[in-house]
């Protein structure tokens, strides 16, 4: 945690040094230093969320290994070898940082923006550093979602035939995606707040309008990506395994009521298993999950709601 703390505080230290030589306008000084501190704290929050997410995922790996078939383990290993490599993560974060710096440069160049937004070298450094760490979070939202697609391909998961939704690995994986969604929702809200504060209160500009629309689409896409796709894919696998189990049990039962009355009675345990199976859910989504997803969506879009109602 020491390294992120040093990196996160670098823009504030640079701003203090630059302030001795060329202080910001008095009316913008509070906002200037306030936003620098905000971005520095944002880096620490993103780092903490990343550590939390990795810890949750590691806790489920033993059960996930038990749930994977040979083909599923091979697919997981290939996914891990590619996505955990330094190169793709570094390239994505650097690209995200460059785009963010260009965006703040474009925003600062809008006529009239300089009267309410002071931007100097420390500002660009703060955006660069924060965007680099945030880019890492966005990267794992994307690759984590692709993992749900990789794992749920035919023949990759081994679920309990009598209660597929309650397979320990499946329950933990579904919970991991839910927790990841909640964390990403908070992260999206924290990242959008300063950008929307500048865009909505700024002068009329086509560029700022584009920024508002782009930010909205980005927020909606990011939250939907990790909220909908994993649960949909996991639920599809659970429903398919449950359907096949029902068909297999039904094939062993008498095909007509008359055959039962004539004395053709199957093993009573089949009916017990059938009752158990029919009472298990056909999806990983519960009522609490839906409520949590809606709350997470609202959290991610909270900056928009505040700005629209303000």
Residue in this structure with the two tokens 């320990």, named with its chain if needed: 168
Residues 100-127 pLDDT 10s: 888 888 777 777 777 777 888 998 999 9
Query: Which residue, among 236, 196, 245, 234, has the nearest Cα to 218 in the 3D structure?
Result: 196
pLDDT of res. 75: 94
Asked if the model's pLDDT at residue 241 lies above 80, the reply is yes
HEC profile of the chain: CHHHHHHHHHHHHHHHHHHHHCCCCHHHHHHHHHHHHHHHHHHHHHHHHHHHHHHHHHHHHHHHHHHECHHHHHHHHHHHHHHCCHHHHHHHHHHHHHHHHHHHHHHHCCCCHHHCCCCCHHHHHHHHHHHHHHHHHHHHHHHHHHHHHHHCCCCCECCCCCCHHHCHHHHHHHHHHHHHHHHHHHHHHHHHHHHHHHHHCCCCCHHHHHHHHHHHHHHHHHHHHHHHHHHHHHHHHHHHHHHHHHHHHHHHCCCCHHHHHCCCCCCHHHHHHHHHHHHCCCCCCCHHHHHHHHHHHHHHCHHHHHHHHC
pLDDT of res. 7: 84
pLDDT of res. 276: 81
Asked if the model's pLDDT at residue 260 lies above 70, the reply is no
pLDDT of res. 225: 75
The mean predicted confidence, pLDDT, of the chain is 81
Residues 263-289 pLDDT 10s: 555 566 777 887 888 888 877 776 566
Residues 217-240 pLDDT 10s: 777 777 777 778 888 899 899 999
Q: 199: exposed, middle or buried (C-beta count within 10 Å: 0-12, 13-18, 19+)?
A: buried
């Amino acid at each position: 945690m020491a390294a992120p703390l040093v990196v996160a505080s670098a823009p504030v230290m640079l701003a203090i040094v630059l302030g001795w030589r060329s202080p910001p306008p008095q009316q913008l000084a509070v906002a200037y230093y306030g936003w620098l501190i905000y971005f520095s704290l944002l880096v620490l929050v993103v780092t903490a969320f990343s550590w939390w997410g990795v810890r949750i995922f590691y806790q489920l790996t033993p059960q996930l290994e038990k749930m994977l078939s040979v083909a599923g383990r091979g697919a997981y290993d290939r996914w891990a070898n590619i996505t955990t490599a330094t190169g793709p993560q570094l390239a994505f974060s650097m690209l995200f940082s460059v785009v963010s710096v260009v965006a703040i440069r474009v925003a600062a160049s809008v006529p009239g923006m300089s009267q309410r937004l002071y931007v100097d070298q420390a500002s660009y450094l703060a955006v660069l550093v924060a965007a680099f760490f945030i880019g890492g979070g966005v990267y794992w939202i994307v690759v984590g979602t692709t993992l749900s697609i990789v794992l749920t391909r035919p023949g990759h998961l081994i679920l309990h035939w009598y209660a597929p939704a309650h397979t320990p690995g499946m329950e933990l994986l579904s919970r991991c995606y839910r927790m990841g969604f909640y964390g990403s929702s908070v992260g999206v809200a924290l990242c959008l707040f300063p950008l929307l504060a500048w865009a909505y209160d700024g002068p009329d500009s086509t560029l700022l309008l584009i920024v508002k629309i782009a930010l909205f689409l980005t927020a909606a896409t990011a939250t939907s990506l990790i909220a909908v796709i994993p649960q949909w894919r996991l639920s599809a696998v659970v429903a398919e395994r449950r359907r096949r189990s029902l068909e297999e049990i039904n094939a062993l039962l008498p095909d007509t009521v008359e055959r039962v009355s004539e004395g053709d009675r199957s093993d009573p345990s089949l009916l017990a298993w059938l009752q158990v199976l029919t009472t298990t859910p056909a999806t990983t989504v519960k009522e609490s999950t839906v409520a949590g997803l809606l709350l997470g969506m609202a959290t991610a879009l909270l900056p928009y709601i505040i700005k629209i109602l303000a």
